[in-house]
C-alpha cells in the first residue's frame, strides 16, 4: 500500500466501485453471481484498505456506504424497515480479529487487558430476512433489500416450517427477528437433479436457490421449495428482555425460532479464534453452506454505545474463510470504457467452477496489470475467489511460452479517439471526452443511479436507447423528456402507462436532495459521504460553488473553510475547483439548475441545544473515548471539530486540557466539563 501513488489509488477505487456495484446487482437483485463470495469480499476488502489509506479519495459511489441492493425492479411490494438492516465488516486474518477487539476497547475507553466477551456463530450463506411479530403473531416478513427498504415476502414464509406464525410463550408486543433463509445442501442437489431431468437451467449455488425461491410473486412456487431459517439477531423491538446477545438469542430459541446450533459465548478473542477454527474444520459436514464465522460483542449496553458506521455495526465482524482457487484459460480480452474514459480490460474465460460458482469473466484492472502477469489470449491462469465472491488472477502458468505480448489498444474502441495514460497515472483513458458515447452514457447512468438521483424506470437500457436517439445529451435533458412523450409512446416496450410512470418519476426529482445531486455530477473525489459533508457545511449548491471557485482563485479563507470539513483534503478542493473552472462543466451545471431546484440541505438530527453548533473536545475524557464523544455530538446535530477557532460554539474540557482551553477563554467560548456534556446527551434522549 505504501508504494501506491494517489493517482493509482484513485483509479483503483473507481474500478472497484464499478465492479462491486455490478456484482452487487448480479448477487442481490438477479440471484446470478459471476464470482464467488471470496472474490467479492476481496474486492470489498481492497476498497476498504484504499479508503483507509486515502480517505480524501472516497468516492460518491463508494461501496462502503452501500448495503444490499435497491428493490425498484422487484415484482414484490416494498417494505420500509423500521430499523435499518445492516451488513457486517469482514476480516480475513487472526490479526484483524485482534484489532477488532482492540478498537472496541479504544472506543469504550477500556483498559488494554479488559475482557471483551464475544458471541461466535457460523455465517450461513443465505438470504437475509426480517420477521416482524406483534403480540406474538407474525405480521410481516421482508428481505433486506438495500437495508432501508426490502421486499414483502410474508405469504412466502408461511411455507417455511422453521418460521412460526405465532411465537411460543410470553413475548414483547413488537419484536423483529432477523436471520437467514437458506436451502440445505441435500435439498439443493435434489433441486438441481430435478431441474436437469426437466431440461431446465441449473441453479448456481444454494444461496441463489434460496433467494430465487423466496423472492417469488407466486407463493406457491416457494411452497414447492424446501427452505429453512436460522435466526441471528433482531431489529425493532418494544422491549429487549436480556442484557447480552447470547442470552437474547437463547430467549428467541425458546419462542420456537431456530438459532445456530454452533452459537457460543467466548470470553475473549483467543477463544473466539479457536471457535472459528473448529467451525472451519466442521464446514464440510454441516447440512448447509457457510462462508465464515460472525463475532458480536455480547454485552448489549456496549453494543448500544458502540453504534454503527456507514453500513455496519462497530460491535460485529464477519471472519471469512480462506479463498478457493482453480485453473482456466483466457479465451479473449475485451476493453470496457467507463464514464471517466478509463479503458478497463476484462478477461473472458473458459468457464470454471470456483467455490461452487461458475466464473466466466475476470477484471484485469489496467495495462500495467496485464504486463505484470505477462498475460495473453490463450494463457492458462490460476483464479482465486477471495472472500468467496470476486475473482482475481493470481498467477499465469504459461507466461514463458514463446508468444507475442498482448497489445493494449492506443485508441478508444468506442469512439476511435487516442487513448493515453497521463503522467503519473497507470490507467489509460480515452481523450474523446463528451464526444465518446461510452463516457456520456456512463455519466448519465451514474446521475440516475441509486446513490444519486435514483430515478425509477430510467435504467441503463433506457438511457442507451434515448441517447442513441439524441434525446439525452446531458443530465438536464432528462427533465425535458416530457416534451417527447408522444415520440416515446409506441416505441417497443413503451405504452401510455409506462411512459407516464417514467415521466412522473422524473418530475418527482425536480426538487432533489442537494447532496445526491452533487454526487450525481460525478466530480472526481466527491463520493457519497464527501457530498453529504460538503452540503452539511454549505447547505446550498451555489454557496459550495462560490467557495470552490474562491479557493481555486487563491482565497485562503475559502480554502480553510473547505479544509475544515472532515474528509475534505487538497484533492477534493482541487477537483471542485477544476470542475467549476471548466466552461463545459459550468454549462452542464447551469443547464441542470435551470430544470431542478434543490432545497437547502438539512441534516436530520435529534432536537438538542447543540444542534448546528461546532463542538471541540479537549483534555482526557474519563467516561468515554474521543471517538464516542464525537459520535455523540454528530448524533445531536453538532459538528465535532479538532481545533478551537472563532467559529467554535462549545468546548468540552477534561483533565489536562491545555492550549485549546486557553484559546477558548481568549475567544470567550463557552466551556463545560464532561459531566455537563453527559447531561446534554441524556436530555436529548
Would you please indicate which residues are annotated as catalytic (active-site) residues?
123
Separation in Å, CA 400 to CA 195, 368, 384: 43, 18, 21
Closest Cα to residue 14, out of 533, 375, 442, 420? 442
| H or E element in which residue 124 lies | strand 118-124
Report the distance separating Cα 362 and Cα 331, nearest Å. 11
Q: 338-358 burial, b if ≥16 CB within 10 A, otherwise e?
A: bbbbbbbbbbebeebebbbbb
- The three-state DSSP-derived secondary structure of 310-361 is CCCECCEEEEECCCEEEEEEEEEEEEEECCCCEEEEEEEEEEEEECCEEEEE
Residue with cell 445456530: 260
Report the distance separating Cα 69 and Cα 48, nearest Å. 19
- 236 contacts 82 by C-beta, under 8 angstroms: yes
Separation in Å, CA 291 to CA 19, 207, 282, 318, 344: 21, 11, 12, 9, 30
| Cα 450-454-459 angle, rounded to 5 deg | 90
For CA atoms 432, 439, 337, 531, the dihedral sign is: positive
Report the distance separating Cα 140 and Cα 371, nearest Å. 54
Report the distance separating Cα 19 and Cα 40, nearest Å. 9
Residues with Cβ within 8 Å of residue 489, at least 6 apart in sequence: 495, 496, 499
Closest Cα to residue 8, out of 408, 342, 409, 393? 342
Task: Return the C-alpha cell found at 625.
Answer: 473515548
| Cα 676-679-683 angle, rounded to 5 deg | 150
- 22 contacts 449 by C-beta, under 8 angstroms: no
Report the distance separating Cα 437 and Cα 386, nearest Å. 34
* Number of residues written out for the chain: 685
Report the distance separating Cα 479 and Cα 517, nearest Å. 13
Report the distance separating Cα 27 and Cα 8, nearest Å. 28
Q: Please, which residues bridge with residue 129 across strands?
A: 143, 179
SS3 content of the chain, % helix, strand, coil (to 5): 40, 20, 40
Amino acid at each position: 500500500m505504501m508504494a501506491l501513488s494517489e493517482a493509482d489509488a484513485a483509479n483503483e477505487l473507481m474500478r472497484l466501485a464499478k465492479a462491486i456495484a455490478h456484482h452487487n446487482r448480479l448477487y442481490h437483485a438477479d440471484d446470478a453471481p459471476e464470482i464467488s463470495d471470496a472474490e467479492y469480499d476481496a474486492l470489498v476488502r481492497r476498497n476498504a484498505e484504499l479508503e483507509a489509506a486515502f480517505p480524501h479519495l472516497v468516492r460518491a459511489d463508494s461501496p462502503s456506504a452501500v448495503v444490499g441492493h435497491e428493490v425498484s425492479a422487484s415484482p414484490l411490494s416494498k417494505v420500509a424497515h423500521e430499523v435499518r438492516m445492516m451488513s457486517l465488516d469482514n476480516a480475513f486474518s487472526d490479526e484483524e480479529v485482534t484489532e477488532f477487539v482492540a478498537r472496541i476497547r479504544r472506543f469504550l475507553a477500556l483498559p488494554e487487558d479488559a475482557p471483551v466477551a464475544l458471541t461466535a456463530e457460523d455465517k450461513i450463506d443465505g438470504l437475509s430476512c426480517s420477521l416482524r411479530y406483534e403480540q406474538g403473531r407474525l405480521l410481516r416478513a421482508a428481505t433486506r433489500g438495500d437495508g432501508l427498504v426490502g421486499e414483502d415476502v410474508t405469504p412466502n414464509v408461511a411455507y417455511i416450517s422453521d418460521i412460526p406464525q405465532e411465537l411460543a410463550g410470553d413475548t414483547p408486543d413488537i419484536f423483529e427477528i432477523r436471520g437467514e433463509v437458506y436451502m440445505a445442501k441435500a435439498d439443493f442437489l435434489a433441486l438441481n437433479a430435478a431441474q436437469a431431468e426437466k431440461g431446465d437451467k441449473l441453479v448456481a449455488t444454494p444461496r441463489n436457490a434460496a433467494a430465487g425461491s423466496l423472492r417469488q410473486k407466486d407463493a406457491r412456487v416457494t411452497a414447492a421449495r424446501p427452505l429453512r431459517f436460522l435466526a441471528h439477531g433482531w431489529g425493532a423491538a418494544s422491549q429487549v428482555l436480556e442484557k447480552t446477545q447470547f442470552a437474547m438469542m437463547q430467549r428467541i430459541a425458546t419462542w420456537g425460532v431456530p438459532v445456530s446450533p454452533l452459537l457460543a459465548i467466548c470470553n475473549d478473542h483467543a477463544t473466539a479464534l479457536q471457535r472459528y477454527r473448529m467451525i472451519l474444520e466442521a464446514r464440510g459436514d454441516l447440512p448447509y453452506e457457510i462462508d465464515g464465522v460472525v463475532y458480536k460483542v455480547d454485552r448489549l449496553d456496549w453494543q448500544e454505545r458502540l453504534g454503527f458506521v456507514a453500513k455496519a455495526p462497530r460491535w460485529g465482524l464477519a471472519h471469512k474463510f480462506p479463498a478457493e482457487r482453480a485453473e482456466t484459460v483466457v479465451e479473449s480480452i475485451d476493453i470496457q470504457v467507463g464514464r471517466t474514459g478509463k479503458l478497463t480490460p476484462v478477461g473472458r474465460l473458459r468457464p470454471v467452477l470456483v467455490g461452487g460458482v461458475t466464473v466466466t469473466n475476470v477484471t484485469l484492472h489496467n495495462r500495467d496489470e496485464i504486463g505484470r502477469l505477462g498475460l495473453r489470449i490463450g494463457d492458462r491462469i490460476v483464479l482465486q475467489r477471495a472472500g468467496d465472491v470476486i475473482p482475481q488472477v493470481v498467477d499465469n502458468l504459461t507466461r514463458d511460452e514463446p508468444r507475442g505480448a498482448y497489445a493494449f489498444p492506443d485508441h478508444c474502441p468506442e469512439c476511435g479517439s487516442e487513448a493515453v495514460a497521463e503522467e503519473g497515472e497507470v490507467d489509460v483513458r480515452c481523450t474523446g471526452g463528451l464526444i465518446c458515447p461510452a463516457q456520456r452514457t456512463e455519466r448519465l447512468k451514474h446521475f440516475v443511479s441509486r446513490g444519486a438521483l435514483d430515478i425509477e424506470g430510467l435504467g441503463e437500457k433506457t438511457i442507451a436507447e434515448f441517447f442513441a436517439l439524441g434525446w439525452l445529451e446531458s443530465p438536464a435533458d432528462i427533465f425535458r423528456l416530457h416534451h417527447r412523450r408522444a415520440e416515446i409512446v409506441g416505441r417497443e416496450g413503451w405504452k401510455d402507462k409506462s411512459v407516464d410512470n417514467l415521466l412522473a418519476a422524473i418530475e418527482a426529482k425536480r426538487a432533489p436532495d442537494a447532496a445526491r445531486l452533487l454526487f450525481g455530477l460525478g466530480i472526481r473525489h466527491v463520493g457519497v459521504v464527501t457530498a453529504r459533508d460538503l452540503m452539511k457545511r454549505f447547505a446550498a449548491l451555489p454557496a459550495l460553488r462560490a467557495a470552490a471557485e474562491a479557493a481555486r482563485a487563491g482565497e485562503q479563507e475559502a480554502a480553510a473553510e473547505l479544509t475544515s470539513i472532515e474528509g475534505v483534503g487538497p484533492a477534493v478542493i482541487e477537483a471542485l475547483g477544476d470542475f467549476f473552472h471548466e466552461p463545459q462543466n459550468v454549462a452542464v451545471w447551469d443547464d441542470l439548475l435551470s430544470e431542478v431546484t434543490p432545497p437547502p440541505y438539512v441534516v436530520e438530527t435529534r432536537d438538542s441545544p447543540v444542534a448546528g453548533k461546532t463542538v471541540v473536545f479537549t483534555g482526557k475524557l474519563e467516561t468515554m473515548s474521543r471517538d464516542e464523544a464525537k459520535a455523540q455530538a454528530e448524533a445531536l446535530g453538532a459538528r465535532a471539530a479538532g481545533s478551537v477557532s472563532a467559529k467554535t460554539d462549545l468546548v468540552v474540557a477534561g483533565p489536562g486540557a491545555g492550549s485549546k482551553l486557553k484559546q477558548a477563554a481568549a475567544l470567550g467560548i463557552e466551556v463545560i466539563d464532561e459531566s455537563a456534556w453527559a447531561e446534554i446527551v441524556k436530555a436529548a434522549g
